[in-house]
Structure 1
């Protein structure tokens, strides 16, 4: 019996799996035609998130180092700096091909900057979540060809709900990390995440686009549990829930294409 060769795993895809396993799992069910660009998007988001870590050099302390790094990316996206990072050229190419909207990527960057000088107001936090985690999900919708603004806004809510749920799930660990959290208590964060989830209403999205909203499954599960899994990897139940719904959503997208 001849064994089938396993599909080749792209180096960037493997990098994304290690750095952002939840979104990488959801991306597995996207059409193969968009997955390389989505891998670039997710790796870009990881780079922005790393800029929030405390400065490694004692010469540049506090949030200044992060702001410098984020400003570098802003200038790359705006075309005023040479794309010297390995992700910069493919990201700019995806923008040029119309895969991603430049403004969406700049909103993701705005959200990361907002973490470095946060305003402890609920409305500001909500917009930061819609721009950041929400912007990532909106960009995935753009990659799939979604043009309906109302649906893109619902994808933003999907991403924001996932971000809030993940923050809640890891609440004790994230609190110790020094990163900016929700400007309120745990119960308030849970309610905010549930509000995002309701605004997304993933179950009523057209079948063609539900493959872009798979993080809503993880959001719903995270927002319904306590913090006992803080710092731990995803359990099998979470992964199977995404895989089952992802398989259905991927087939729905293929049928409608």
Structure 2
């Protein structure tokens, strides 16, 4: 793969300095899972997770300003859309790393646009389950699909299952923090918690992480947390992960990383 030119260089330590700590603070679950990825893709995935955090932050103005409604958030999301589509100067500290990853083929542009569309959909929610499912597959699901792309996964069936792993994680986290998120004003599931649990379990079954190929199992680590979150109540709403959750990810992560190394599959 061609890697010539300044715009196609890998995001080095100077570009990602401080990002890992910021991601650990903002998105500790996915940061923990990303720690088991090969070093060759970790910086790009860290940038991906920081990008997702930026998109999620765009939702805050709509929640805090009743008069502005969703417009402030949509404007921020449109800025990122313009950057991804190459029609706006990328004058954001994170933008060069994302554009570099796109130029090198680490992530597909359409995948990141789907993640962005999910945040737009959250600002204009439809009170039906079907659009919610698509929002979850595009958003949390799109993040895990992109991780799979970084690991060299090109099989569409596997990528679709990775979307399901991310959607399951998103549904599980939503269920786990249900009272806390309700108070924040953020869009939730258009139904009761019992139905949300069923949707999350359906995503988890669609992923079937234990039968994924090595790269897929490594990319689907959030499914470990999804299974645990979907099996309990929201008693931990607003609280950090316990040791049991972290150990479960660590066990699965070490196993998946060893399988990936033995498989000889090249990460991009």
Structure 2 length-normalised TM: 0.90
What CA distance in whole angstroms lies between the structure 2 residues aligned with 1:183 and 1:56?
A: 17
User: Corresponding residue for 1:53?
Assistant: 60
- 2:234 is the counterpart of 1:243: no
Q: Distance in 1 between matches of 2:179 and 2:83?
A: 35
1:10 deviation in Å?
A: 4.3
Rounded to whole Å, the distance in 2 between the matches of 1:66 and 1:239 is 33
Q: Name the CA shift for 1:194/1:55 in 2 (closer, same or farther; >3 Å).
A: closer
SS at match of 1:39: helix
Structure 1, residues 224-248: CA drift from partner, whole Å, max 9, x if none? 0001000000000000000011001
Residue 125 of structure 1 corresponds to 132
Q: Indicate yes or no: 2:73 matched with 1:66.
A: yes
| Worse-matched range after superposition: 187-196 or 54-63 | 54-63
Matched, 1:97 2:104: yes
How many residue pairs are counted as aligned between the two chains? Answer: 249
* Structure 2 SS opposite 1:198: helix
1:178 aligns with 2:185: yes
Query: 190, 200, 214: which one pairs with 1:193?
Result: 200
- Which residue does 1:164 correspond to in 2? 171
Q: Distance in 2 between matches of 1:12 and 1:231?
A: 23
Aligned partner of 1:34 in structure 2 is 41
The structure 1 segments of at least 4 consecutive aligned residues displaced by more than 2 Å after TM superposition are 54-60
Equivalent-residue separation in structure 2 for 1:171 and 1:58 (angstroms): 22
Q: Distance in 2 between matches of 1:247 and 1:25?
A: 12
Distance 1:207 1:58, change over 3 A: closer
Q: Equivalents in 2 of 1:207, 1:155: separation in Å?
A: 12
Q: Is 1:109 aligned with 2:116? A: yes
Report the alpha carbon displacement of residue 251 of structure 1 after superposing the two structures with TM: 0.8
Please state whether the residue corresponding to 1:100 is helix, strand or coil. coil
Tell me, which stretches of 5 or more residues in structure 2 are unaligned? Answer: 1-15
| Cα contact 2:106–2:150 (8 A) shared by 1 | yes
- How far apart, CA to CA, are the structure 1 residues paired with 2:179 and 2:125? 20
CA separation of 1:47/1:208 partners in 2, compared to 1, >3 Å: closer, same or farther? closer
Tell me how large the CA RMSD over aligned residues is. 1.5
* CA offsets 1:92-148 (integer angstroms, 9 cap, x no match): 110000000000000000000000011111110000000000000000000000000
Return the TM-score normalized by structure 1.
0.94
Residue by residue, what CA displacement relative to the aligned partner does 1:4-48 show, whole Å, maximum 9, x if unpaired?
xxxxx9411111000000000000000000000000000000000
How far off is 1:56 after superposition?
A: 9.4
| Local SS of the residue matching 2:233 | coil
Paired with 2:213 and 2:68, the residues of 1 have a C-alpha distance of 48
- Structure 1 residues 59, 249: CA separation in 2 closer, same or farther (over 3 Å shift)? closer
Q: Is the 8 A contact 2:180 2:237 kept in 1?
A: yes
